[in-house]
Every structure is written in C-alpha cells, then in structure tokens.
Structure 1
C-alpha cells in the first residue's frame, strides 16, 4: 500500500522562525491556500477509498480537512501524530533560545536531545509516530494520508525507514508538502518521493 505523510500549511510562527511544538497556532491565509492546493492534487492522484488521519492540533487538522473534503471522506484524528513538544523553547525567537541555552542549542543542532524542560526526546517521537502509522496502515486497505508536522513527520519517517535519528538524514517537509512511502508489510517500508508540493509537480511536468 501507499502512505502519504503531509505537513500542515503555513502558520505565522513558521514565518517568524518560532518553534510551535504543542502550541496551538492557526494557519495563515496562505496556509489555508496551500492546504487547498495540496488537496486538489490529492483529488487527482489518490484513488477512491483513501483514509485521512491527522494530528489534533488545528493547523494539521484543518489541512487534513481540506484534503478529506476534496476526497469526499472525513478527517480522523490521532493524538500520536501531534508535533513534538519543545517545552520552554516554544514561541521564543531563535536568538532567545541561543542566549538562554547555548550548549543545549548546539547539542540539538548536532542531532542530540537537549536538556530543556518539556522537550520530547527523539525516541519518544519516533515510537508514537511509527506506532500510529503502522497501526493505521494495518487497519485500512486503500491509500493512507497522514497529516502531521515538520519534526514529528521527519522523525516518524526516519523510524519507519530504519534511519538514524541522530542525524537529519531526511530534511523537514515544507508547508503543505508530502512524502510518499510504499509499505509491503509491517516494518518493511520504502521512500518513493520526498518533499513534493503542487509547485514542484508543475515544475517537473
């Protein structure tokens, strides 16, 4: 089967470089437009019987609802697909992060787990994301569309593919962009496309 992992559309915090994590940050007007454009693509490339499941955070859920509406289905929710919590780093500028936690920022940039109150470690994100995607893939027969977030999507896909979580083997998805994975059996995954959006599809046409 094929599984599409989709990142939500743009938010104001994406524009200003703030970590959102578990915070509720709505889509911008552009973010809504991105979601609609991505939904239109899925209306063309995904066959009938698709399942759409999303993080309950509104930026992901609203993106998923746009896709689900295009496909004539309901968007389902799974709390395991929410973004990683960044704890005390959420909502502060990159300069404030570096000023307050210089050693932890360097560790984080090197792929480590910073000792920051409320920060969810990589292995925790991997376990819940992989568990959620594998469970949904077991339950459905048609295409599966998973709408999540930048960090959780990347770490989840690294987990599915058996890649190291200590390095950024895969780049984060862009806003309203997606990756396509093929699943032959539980634990047996191949990455077929990465970081695709309507603009890159038009450029490749």
Structure 2
C-alpha cells in the first residue's frame, strides 16, 4: 500500500487575466511534514488556469514521491474541487485539457478533493505569490534557502567541501522531465531464430510466447501506474504488444510511423550467418559505417537515426512533462538510448535488447537526457 499524501495547491493572477503563478506543497498526511514544494510564474493567465496548474504541479510532485500513494487534495478553489470531483461540468474549453492532465496523474480512486477556506491554504498561496513576485523581477522561483545560481559564490562562501559544478550545458533546475518508457515488442516466430525482421518483411504477428510476454509487461506497467499515453510502431507485433497495456490502463494506442523498425532490404527473414554467406561485402560495409545500407534498398543506421529523432522530438512536444510508453523495436530503442548518452553509432552493436524488455529515457527542458533503464526483463521472470 502506498503512502498517504496531502497536496495543497493554489494559483493566482494579478489582473485575471494578468501576470499569474501557482504554488503547491506536498505533505505527509500523518505527520504534516513538508515533503516537496513547487511554484512557477506562468506569464499571463487567469486565476482558474493558475489554480489548475498548481493542482497539476502538486500531483506531479506527489507522484514523484510515490506513484502508488493515496492523495488528499485541499484547495480553496471551489471550481477546481467541484470539477475534479465530478460534481460540476467543465464547460470552459480551456479548462478541459488541464483537468484531463490532472486526472491522468493518479488513478481516480486514489485521489479525493476537499474545499478549504483561503486562510487554511496559506502555504500554497504564499508560494504562488512568491512565484509571481519572482516573475515580476524577471527571475525564476526557487525554494527559500536555495542560492541564485547566477550569483558566483566566493571561496570563503563555499569552503573546501563545495561540490563540483555540473557539466557545461546542464541546468541547475531542469524541471519535470518528459519520460519515454520504451517497450520492445514480444516474440514472433522469427525472434528465437535471430532472423532479420524489419519493416520491409512480412509483418509477423506475436507468437504464443510473445502474447504471454505482452501480458506480463502490461501487468507490470499497470502496477507502476505512471504511464499516461501509449504510442506504437505501426507494425503488427508492436500493436499487439501495446494493446494489452493500453487496455489495462484505459488508454488508446496512438501509432507513429517514425517508431517502425529498420528496413533490412534483401536481408529480411535471413539469419546473420545467411547474410554473411550471401552478401559478405554489403554486411561488412554495414557493420563498418552508419551510412551503409542493407542490400537492395534497406535503410542505413543514419537514416533510421534521423527518422527516430524526428519522432522523438514530435512526441516530446506532445507529451511534455508526462510519461509515455513507446512500443517499438530493437533499433529505435537502441537509437534513443545512444542519442541520450551521446554515444557513437557503433554502440548499437554493444547493447543487448531482449524481447518485451523495458528501457527508459528522461528528457529535460534544458535539452539534456538521462538513460534511466535498459533491457529490464524482471517482469518476465
């Protein structure tokens, strides 16, 4: 059973619409101890938008602490509390996507909402005003006691035990990442035989073993409860792997062409040994250079990288700050992992990726990425 968390959130606008900000605090429901704070200046917006943004920030902070928690939300916004409780209809079209985003962060039965007087929401109200004050000064809000990273401390300030500076280009406050959970499809009849199976072949279905793997992955992902969207390669084996996950999570499967596997040309359906025997020069060239393509119209790794990177950027824009499951293939998963690491193309041959394995990459607003998981198969054992 998860923790019991209390979320208090507020938002404000000086003008309605006008300069706006939100604040949110997460507390332990039993002790009242403060576990996390969040606040942000959001530019020109209405009070209602700012209040919803505060709710979303509070729920996100609670989810980062414990995605399995039961959450009690307390706000002085009657509108947000009644709409999120389902007692009032959401008539304004601008509120609907915000309410939908909030509702996707935890299962409906894990969150309850209570209206409180403004005086009882002083902590979140203070954070929202601090964020608006910071925005007026052209600054970002930061928790009290956290120094301005733009102010260079003296040696006397930091002493001899100061931590090393972050690598160049890394932000001191990268914000909530967008996370892609990467699920390789389950087995097909070709998988145990280690045959080339790309997007130019016969589009095989999952085998019985592959269907069992897809159900196991679905159960594991449903238990985690963090996935908010499911996107699949158009190929059948991926769609058949994605469907059990989406069904358990109550989501729809979106299809993205950019997530399809490499087209292996004349090598489709062959083993590595058979390709070595029939096309030795082409295989050597393919292994030596990312710009070399498989025989008879296949895709080079450079072409696949461009395609996958475009799909990545499009999905990052669509699911900013959220967690999306991408059901795809060996080469796209390895490509996303190597791009996150800044590794060379030859690293593709140095990664193991099992059928129905899980990997994960987090992407931050400052442009950096972090590989968090690679080839996890614990849910299959």
| TM-score in terms of structure 1 length | 0.89
Paired position in structure 2 for 1:196: 376
Counterpart Cα distance in 1 of 2:366 and 2:309: 10
Check conservation: 1:137, 1:144, Cα contact below 8 A.
no
Distance change in 2, residues 1:115/1:137 (3 Å): closer
Runs of 4+ in 1 over 4 A off after TM superposition: none
CA RMSD across the alignment: 2.0
**For 2:260, which of 54, 68, 82 is the aligned residue?**
82
Instruction: Between 96-105 and 5-14, report the one with greater CA deviation.
Output: 96-105
Structure 2 matches for 1:97-136, cutoff 5 A?
A: 97-110=275-288, 112=290, 113-114=292-293, 116-136=295-315
Check conservation: 1:5, 1:147, Cα contact below 8 A.
yes
Unaligned runs of 5+ in 2: 1-177
**For 2:348, which of 168, 172, 178 is the aligned residue?**
168
**For 2:316, which of 118, 137, 143 is the aligned residue?**
137
Instruction: Give CA deviations for 1:138-180 in whole Å, capped at 9, x if unaligned.
Output: 2124211111101222123322432211333751421111111
**For 1:68, which of 246, 250, 254 is the aligned residue?**
246
Instruction: Between 131-140 and 8-17, report the one with greater CA deviation.
Output: 131-140
Instruction: Between 152-161 and 6-15, report the one with greater CA deviation.
Output: 152-161
Counterpart Cα distance in 1 of 2:333 and 2:220: 20
Paired position in structure 1 for 2:197: 20
Q: Which has the higher contact order (CA 8 A, sep 6+)?
A: 1
Instruction: Between 141-150 and 6-15, report the one with greater CA deviation.
Output: 141-150
Check conservation: 2:265, 2:294, Cα contact below 8 A.
no
Instruction: Between 145-154 and 183-192, report the one with greater CA deviation.
Output: 183-192
Task: Say how many residue pairs are matched.
Answer: 200
1:111 Cα deviation (Å)? 5.4
Counterpart Cα distance in 1 of 2:334 and 2:274: 25
| TM-score in terms of structure 2 length | 0.49
Unaligned runs of 5+ in 1: none
**For 2:226, which of 25, 31, 47 is the aligned residue?**
47
Return the index of the structure with the highest Cα Rg: 2
Distance change in 2, residues 1:174/1:43 (3 Å): same
Matched, 1:146 2:326: yes
Check conservation: 2:361, 2:373, Cα contact below 8 A.
yes
Counterpart Cα distance in 2 of 1:134 and 1:46: 24
Larger proportion of helix: 1
Counterpart Cα distance in 2 of 1:173 and 1:166: 15
